[in-house]
Structure 1
Amino acid sequence: MRRVIGSWLGGPRSAFNHVREQANEARPSWRGQKLGLPADGPGSAAPPGKRLLAFVIDILLAALITGAFTAPKFPGDWSLLTWFLITVIPVAFFGFTPGMAVVRIWVARIDGTTMVGLPRAVLRCGLTLLIIPAVMWNFDGRSWHDRLTGTVVLRR
């Protein structure tokens, strides 16, 4: 019984060790294992670093495009609209943004349908804009915005 609930003499650390042991048992060996994805190579879950790099590339591209039309004035909110367009349209129809194409990752639906579709792409982009749903991850490498839209980001 002591092993299950810990001892008050051991302090809170001994109780948390048991919780940590249980969490390690339920944790998959690699990202996407529960989804049936391979551990490495094409079709495996994209690592967070590649996803972040693709996002930064998309933001910079949106700023450059908007800046070309609004120069010499500061683009302001127009670059946000440009980012929205270069994110939603390509993801909806092709499964990747320009930044994702550069780092060789793409968005796929969990149910196996070929196209992500416009409603899911708009929701996914809107949730990315809120930031929190895009940075909260589970053990499968999926963030909240992926789970809410039924998508996963994979390596090419």
Structure 2
Amino acid sequence: MVDRKDIGSWLTGPDTSGISKYPGERLGLPESGPGSIARAGRRIAAIMIDWGIALLISNFAFGGDSWATLAVFAIEQILLVGTLGYSIGHRVMGIAVIRPGGGTPGPLAALVRAVLLCLVIPAVIFDPDQRGLHDKAMNTLLIRR
């Protein structure tokens, strides 16, 4: 026979035993400080800085064309993230893009990541480790430096 203790109570809430305590725990990253997952505030500020730079370049070079702004943004992401592991906005905010084992993502990962980032939707859908679909697709992490 089923007893009430077997079912539990709605007062106890859902079972959270398999859920991480903080973003990046499942990946073996620290909770805070260098090497931890970059939180949303830093990410948003970094992308705003990068977009602002792309907008300035686009205004001076292409008369403010919105497609040119998107292209400048994508080129910045591909070149800088692919070679250095961070864009200008990332650098200012103290974050970097890495592979889980360490090291820069490389040109192919930067290209795919930038294209998905330009589509916006993959960047706003993320997992419990705060990795957007663009990061999951290329197996990259955005961490604090």
- When normalised by structure 2's length, the TM-score is 0.89
Q: 108, 128, 131: which one pairs with 1:119? A: 108
CA distance in 2, matches of 1:115, 1:152: 10
What are the within-5 Å matches in structure 2 for residues 1-156 of structure 1?
Answer: 1=2, 14=10, 21-22=14-15, 24-70=16-62, 73-112=63-102, 114-156=103-145
RMSD: 1.9
Shift of 1:21: 1.8
Shift of 1:111: 3.3
Cross-structure match for 1:11: none
SS in structure 2 opposite 1:49? helix
CA distance in 2, matches of 1:130, 1:33: 28
Structure 2 contact 55–64 (Cα < 8 Å) conserved: no
Q: Structure 2 regions of 5+ residues with no counterpart?
A: none
CA distance in 2, matches of 1:60, 1:139: 29
How many corresponding residue pairs?
143
Shift of 1:133: 1.2
CA distance in 2, matches of 1:99, 1:3: 53
CA distance in 1, matches of 2:48, 2:6: 46
Q: Structure 1 regions of 5+ residues with no counterpart?
A: 8-13
Shift of 1:6: 7.5
- Aligned-residue sequence identity (percent) comes to 33
Shift of 1:48: 0.8
Structure of higher CA gyration radius: 1
Shift of 1:149: 0.5
- State the Cα deviation string for residues 58-103 of structure 1 (Å, max 9, x = none): 1110000111113xx4323111110011111000010001110110
Shift of 1:5: 6.0
Structure 1 contact 111–150 (Cα < 8 Å) conserved: no
